[in-house]
Amino acid sequence: MLGFLRGCSAIWRRELAGIFMGPLAWTLLVIAIALQGLLFLVYLKTSQGDVDLALRFGFGESWAFWALAALFPPLLTMRMISEESRLGLLEYLLTAPVSDAAVVLGKFAAATSFMALVWSSGLLHALLVQAAGVAPDWGAVWGGWIGAVLVSGLFCATGLLCSALTNTPVVAAFGAIVLHIVIVILPLLSSLTEARWIQEAIARVDVLDHHKATFLVGVLDSAYLGFFVVWTALFLYAATRSLEARRWR
Partner 1 sequence: MISVQSLTRVYGSHKALDAVSFEIQKGEVVGFLGPNGAGKTTTLRILAGYLPPSSGTARVAGFDVVRDSIEVRKRIGYLPEAVPLYRELRVEEMLRFHARLHGMERERTRRRIGEVLEQVQLADRSSQLVGNLSRGLRQRAGLAVALLPEPEVLILDEPTSGLDPIQRLEVRALLAELARRHTVIVSSHILPEIEAVCPRVIIVAKGRIAADGTREALVRQLGGASHVRLEAVVGPDVAKAKALLASIAGVSQVVDGGRVGIHHGFDLVCDSDLREDAGALAAARGWALRELSWRTPSLEQIFARIALSDGIGEASGGTGGSTSGVARTDAATSPAVALAGARLEFELRATPATAAAPAAAPAAISGAAQAKPKVVYNLNPFDGGARRDLGKPKAIDGGSAERKEP
| Binding positions for partner 1, rule: CB under 8 A | 3, 6-7, 9-11, 13-14, 17-18, 21-22, 87-92, 94-99, 247-249
Rg (CA), the chain: 19
Between residues 93 and 126, which has the closer beta carbon with respect to partner 1? 93
Cα dihedral across residues 36, 38, 43, 48: positive or negative? positive
Q: Is 46 exposed, middle or buried (0-12, 13-18, 19+ CB in 10 A)?
A: exposed
Q: Among residues 90 and 150, whose Cβ is nearest to partner 1? A: 90
Q: How far is the CB of 147 from partner 1 (least distance, A)?
A: 32
Given the complex with partner 1, which of 23 and 49 has the nearer CB atom? 23
CB of 236 to partner 1, least distance (A): 19
Residue 84: which of 158, 175, 164, 4 has the closest Cα?
164
CA separation for the pair 33, 168 (Å, rounded) = 29
Least separation in angstroms between CB 241 and partner 1: 14
- CB closer to partner 1 out of 9 and 120: 9
Instruction: Give the shortest CB-92-to-partner 1 separation in angstroms.
Output: 4
Measured CA to CA, the distance from residue 154 to residue 146 in angstroms comes to 12
230 to 28, 119, 149, 161, 224: CA distances (angstroms): 28, 22, 15, 15, 10
Query: Which one, 51 or 93, has the nearer CB to partner 1?
Result: 93
Q: Which is nearer to partner 1, 22 or 139 (CB)?
A: 22
For residue 19, give every residue at least 6 positions away whose Cβ sits within 8 Å of its Cβ, in sequence order, or none. Answer: 25, 76, 110, 111, 114
What 37-42 contacts at long range (C-beta under 8 Å, 24+ apart), as own/partner pairs, is 37/121, 37/125, 39/64, 40/125
Closer residue to partner 1 in complex, CB, 24/71: 24
What's the closest the beta carbon of residue 248 comes to partner 1, in angstroms? Answer: 7
CB of 237 to partner 1, least distance (A): 19
Q: Taking the complex as a whole, how short is the minimal distance between the CB of residue 23 and partner 1, in angstroms?
A: 12
Closest by Cα among 55, 64, 45 to 127: 55
The two most distant CA atoms of the chain are separated, in Å, by 61
